[in-house]
Amino acid sequence: MAYVAIFITYIFINNFILTQFLGLCPFIGVSKNSESAIGMGMAVTFVMGIASIITWLVYTFLLVPLDLVYLQTLSFILVIAALVQFVELIIQKNSPGLYQALGIFLPLITTNCAVLGIAIMNITEGYTLMQSFSAGIAAGIGFTLALVLMSNIRERMDLFPVQKSFKGVPIAFISGGLMALAFMAFDKSLLTNLLG
Amino acid sequence: MAQSHKEVLTKGLFKENPVFIIMLGLCPTLGVTTQVVNGIGMGLSVIFVLVFSNIFISLLKNIIPNSVRIPSYIVIIAAFVTIVEMVMHAFAPAIYKALGIFLPLIVVNCIILGRAEAFANKNTVYDSFLDAIGMGVGFTMALILIALIREVFGAGTITLIPIGNFDGVLKIPLLYTYPVRVFTLAAGALLLMGYLKAFFTWFAERKRG
């Protein structure tokens, strides 16, 4: 049950983009068409899942025993940067098709706040290894959901006349705001109603 | 690269404002601006990290091999962020708590890495320092503007740093009783950012003629 709660929390209630403002740059930057939105979303979900596991292991078995907790930020960002490079190499080698789809998004992920965000959150929330992994995947799915919805809205919007000064980024922000307003319907009571 | 020192310093304030024009560092911009004091705290932290990382990267630009420059920049930036975290935790615990996750996230703030990559690694130390000050102040001004609008309308208060008897909170009569709550929420932040960006685009167009 705890895992179901984590998934619902990170996909809907605490959606990274729409309630926590993590990962706003790709939300505005890569949401112009739905294909690249799906690619970016999948790449981020993948990296967030693995990064959650590795940063949790680093924190629990390296930083805590050595009393180096203050190096958390530094070590996490290094792990994430190395991981992204590593994932890029592996995908490039083993599945050229996937690499073509995700390739251009991978370097952008290192500086995506959502990845470092979930790594730090797992620690502050005191999750276990499996819970961290679930939270990572769930937050990634939530990120993808918001990104794909947004890209579909923007594709539609291209067909409608938008006031000149609102074209592009401003109208994207306003649509995002309205989406966030809709997402406010998901709150803690959803969890209690669903899971008791 | 024929910019005068003055240009390097002032371009970050308006012409290339990191938040409203280049649109970098959006996550903390919207995440922490529910109170003016948080905006100031975040802005000062970013100025500190930006100034020192720009100086160091500019000093080391001939030593760092090109192929590993991005990881090296990240390590330098992360080191200064850790310093800010520790100092804030010790001397300003309230702001440390309010900024929460966004304080360590300064590491991935695109402004800092962006300035390292776009400016500090090909300019002199002095110019990099000026650039960092200009960009940092521009960022802080944008943060304070957004925080001011959100706090005044969303809570009817302006929270500043407490000095002596003054507890740091200014109350605005009518709005304090009937605040427009949505401004403090995520949705309000995104809407406000959209309208502000539209306003700046309109303003820039008009100025250009």
Dump pLDDT digits (tens) for A64-83.
Answer: 999 888 888 899 998 998 88
- Is residue B27 within 8 A of residue B128, CB to CB? The reply is no
| pLDDT, mean of residues B100-116 | 86
Contact A116 B105 (CB under 8 A): yes
Query: CB burial class (10 A; 0-12, 13-18, 19+) of residue B178?
Result: exposed
Dump pLDDT digits (tens) for A120-166.
Answer: 999 999 999 999 999 999 999 999 999 999 999 989 888 888 888 88
| pLDDT, mean of residues A33-58 | 89
Q: Hey, of A13, A76, A77, A78, which one would you mutate to test binding to chain B, going by the most B CBs within 10 A of its CB?
A: A77
Dump pLDDT digits (tens) for B41-97.
Answer: 999 999 999 999 999 999 998 888 887 888 888 889 999 999 999 999 998 888 888
Q: Strand pairing of B157-159 and B169-171?
A: antiparallel
For residue B159, what is the enclosing H or E element?
A: strand B157-159
CA-to-CA dists, residue B157 to B104, B172, B179, angstroms: 27, 6, 9
The candidate with the shortest Cα–Cα distance to A16, out of A163, A161, A169, A121, is: A121
Rounded to two decimals, the ipTM of the complex is: 0.84
Contact A72 B79 (CB under 8 A): no
The pTM of this model reads 0.87
Residues 127-146 of A with CB under 8 A from B: none
- Tokens 């590795």 correspond to A54
Strand partners, B166: B163
Residue in chain A closest to B31 (alpha carbons) equals A21
Contact A174 B190 (CB under 8 A): yes
- Tokens 């068409």 correspond to A33
The candidate with the shortest Cα–Cα distance to B61, out of B120, B133, B5, is: B120
- Is residue B115 within 8 A of residue B54, CB to CB? The reply is yes
The candidate with the shortest Cα–Cα distance to A25, out of B24, B39, B170, is: B24
The alpha-carbon gap from A27 to the nearest alpha carbon of chain B, in Å, equals: 10
- Tokens 């924190």 correspond to A59
Contact A173 B197 (CB under 8 A): yes
